[in-house]
Amino acid sequence: MILIGLFAIKNPESWWFKKIGDDSEPNDEYLASIRFRGKLFIGLSLLIIATFLCLILSTLIGP
């Protein structure tokens, strides 16, 4: 999941992020929004990983 976010930041012009049927060149606002979504995706991925690590550690350590 983190790799998808990094790919969105590095290559927002990729066909992975184009709208279906849209052959026009992406504008700067669209590319900036793809980069921002990539950063959000990385942040949410790290939050999910941290949550699972906390759950695993709490079951190993116990109450």
User: How many alpha carbons lie under 13 Å from residue 13 in its C-beta half-sphere?
Assistant: 5
pLDDT digits (tens, 9 = 90+) for 50-61: 999 999 999 888
Q: Are 7 and 16 in contact (CB under 8 A)?
A: yes
3-7, 46-50, 57-61, range with greatest mean pLDDT: 46-50
DSSP state of 34: H
pLDDT tens digits for 24-36? 888 899 999 999 9
pTM (2 decimals)? 0.78
Q: Is 21 helix (H, G, I), strand (E, B) or coil?
A: coil
Please tell me the distance from the alpha carbon of residue 21 to that of residue 43, in angstroms, as a whole number.
30
Count how many domains the chain has. 1
* Residue 38 in this model has a pLDDT that exceeds 70: yes
Structural domain of residue 25, as residue ranges? 2-61
